[in-house]
Chains A and B, each alone.
Chain A
Amino acid sequence: MSSGDTIAPPFFSILSALFILSAASIFGKIRDVIYFLLHPFKVKGETGYAPIRDPTEDFYMRRMYGRIVDCWNRPICSAPTAWVDVMKRERVRDTTGVDTAHIVPIGGHTRCLNLSSYNYLGFAAFDPYCTPRAVLAIENLGISSCSPRVHAGTTSVHVELEELVARFLGVDDAITYGMGFATNSSTIPALVGKGCLVISDALNHSSIVAGIRASGAKVKVFRHNDADHLEKLLRLAIAEGQPRSHRPWKKILVIVEGVYSMEGETCRLKEVVEVAKKYKAYTYLDEAHSIGALGPTGRGCCEHWGVDPRDVDIMMGTFTKSFGSCGGYIAGKREVVEHLRRHSPAHLYACSMAPGCVEQVTSALHVMMGMDGTDRGKQKIDQLHDNANYVRSRLLAMGLDVLGSWDSPVMPIMTYNAAKMVAFSRLTLARKLAMVIVGFPATPVLLTRTRICISASHTREDLDWAIEQMEEVVDLCMLRYRTKALYQLVESELKDHVKRHFGPEIAERATIKALATGELDLRKSKDLSTKAVEGGVGVGIGIGGNAQQQQQHQTQSTSAKPKRAAANSKAQLEGKGPAASPRNGETHRKPLASVQAHAKAFVVSK
């Protein structure tokens, strides 16, 4: 869904959302009034003290969230690969037999297709290259560094990672942190302060907002992805200067994100960078969801749009999403990174990334850059894009209001109505699809949605099955909110996208329907799908939890292990499909024997 010409949500969906919310609120309010009449003293609190909480501010949590609490915080008990074990839970009943707002696990789990984890490149679980190296790093350097970077937390792997990140992105230097949110919330205050101006996109993440608030800089918000509005704001800000004193701003920083996690759409980086350079403002690009997921080789939003990474002053990203680790990085010019090494609180005081996590990222980057000697990295990113474009076109053809740009693995489907959002969540869980729903306050209150995160480890069969299951739920919940205007807009974006990446001749034939039915084959490596299909059948990733296929699958994986040396399709598949043996918790302990063998192999080669 594009920006500058934002499409208004459909009339009746908002109307129904309002009626549902007002009905729920009225009932909640009636319960509040009755509770107050029955227990007037409990509500008030001690005299002379300020109330600990405000009844209006936590109204939602007290009266509405309890009804739908089973849709969030679902515990899983296996590695979050293409398939995941979701624990079974039940609502607690109080002594009178009434359901309460508490929900507890009751033992047992369901194997579900994982459409909720940010496992974009499939590095979430055992990987034949990354895991042995990460385990070796833990054995050599310990579980945690137990220290901030400036004390004793900088190890050889940290230095290696920072050099590698800088090389991967094509910039001078990089600095890494132990937490992705903290990367934003501690870097922005180190870069801007009083007397500076931050111009931030309307839909920026709360970590950026927290960082801006903590910095003390003034903030202006520009309409989402609207470079014209950005330009107008910049002109006005520069012409007027600081409020009241009208002194010139010390620094102007424009903050945008590569892929917006609630919309799945990329930022119009080219226009934004152009406008910022014209007015000599700095740009800060938050690539939390786009690094490793956008661009032909996974180098992020800059590669996707053809922007020189040196034009973006500060590039931020996280390792949580595509690289299967934790933490974040800031990359840019040497002076900027050196400044951050001296001034960023997370670098000076927060514990550094754990060595195992660092090595995981380094290994994942090796795979993505082809430094492990195979082309698994290229295959992963191609598979990710293929899967994402395929699912997007199928869902759009089904009539769903799907947001986001082509190639982006994040796919929000609008449900608008809070009741439909919840129904969707429960019905899909019953059909063994693990999906995330998002409501207030992460999204606007009337624009609730469910969000799919596609992974390179999903096979075409998995996705076909998921779409089939989803279609049943969509029929029940009546979610076909896609308007004609949206369809045309997305189709024109598809043509632009195909023209840029595949050439104008194919762009002529590029329609959503063609992509969905398979007439138009945008698969970058054509034989990728057949491998995935082979893998799907032979490796038998439990579609519908078929026990027979599981058996087949486990024997397949053990027999394929000795063949790993040869770069054949099975090995590549196993590398790509970390769902290799996923039944219960003991599986991630299973590969240790082979891990040690690999570890030794790496020692020898080093």
Chain B
Amino acid sequence: MPVRRTISEVDVNKNTNWLNYPSVWTWYLAVIVLGWLGISALIDDAGLAWTYVHLLHGVATYYLLHWIKGSPNPEDQGKYQALTFWEQVDNEAYGTRNRKIFTVVPVLLFVLATHGTDFRKQPLGLNLAVVVILLVAKLPALHKVRFFGINKY
């Protein structure tokens, strides 16, 4: 399918344009690694810690990216009131670098969680369910889709 070249847009959405600054992804990965370090300090199995990190990360990112809507900036005058953070990113364009990174991280954590420790020690089905839900939520086909009216307003 031919891709149409177009002029690059300016992202004026103050809620999301901070993702384009230098050290954002470093920070994201640093928070995940620090979380893993913290959890593996509390429990014995460092591999199982990856499972907990994966689950916590799944819950946190689902809430922050796919549940809460709107923008804390009052000057937007409610322009993004019906859009979740994921839907607002990059002027609602898909296939951008930010979106790719957001998609890869849950998969990466799933791989770390499943290979971190023995399959019988970890809740494999739960890990799989979390990563599948997160990946499905990020599909372009589900842009602005709300199932059964949940989280519509």
Chain A residues close to B by CB (< 8 Å): 8-12, 14-15, 18-19, 22, 50, 54, 56-60, 202, 206, 209, 213, 221-223, 229, 232-233, 236, 440-441, 444-446
Contacts and interface: CB of A to CB of B under 8 A. Distances in A.
A54 B81 CA distance: 10
B7 interface: yes
Given A18-B27, A56-B69, A236-B7, A209 B18 contact: no
A57 B71 contact: yes
Contacts of B116: none
A466 B68 CA distance: 45
Contact of B14 (A50, A56, A233, A441): A441
B96 interface: no
A206 B7 contact: no
A445 B74 CA distance: 13
B70 A54 contact: yes
B33 interface: no
B75 A206 contact: yes
Contacts of A54: 69-70, 81
Contact of A444 (B6, B18, B22): B18
B70 A56 contact: yes
Interface residues of B, number: 28
B72 interface: yes
A525 B12 CA distance: 43
Contact of B10 (A11, A60, A223, A441): A223
Given A202-B10, A223-B10, A9 B21 contact: yes
Given A22-B31, A221-B10, 13 more contacts: A8-B22, A11-B22, A14-B24, A15-B23, A54-B69, A56-B68, A56-B70, A56-B72, A57-B70, A229-B8, A236-B7, A444-B18, A445-B14
Nearest to A237: B7
A213 B79 CA distance: 11
B9 interface: yes
A8 to B, nearest CB: 5
B98 interface: no
Contact of B72 (A19, A59, A233): A59
A56, A59, A232, A440, most chain B CB atoms within 10 A: A56
B72 A12 contact: no
A59 B14 CA distance: 15
Contact of B21 (A14, A206, A236): A14
- The 4 A-B pairs of least Cβ separation, nearest first, read A15-B23, A441-B73, A18-B27, A221-B10
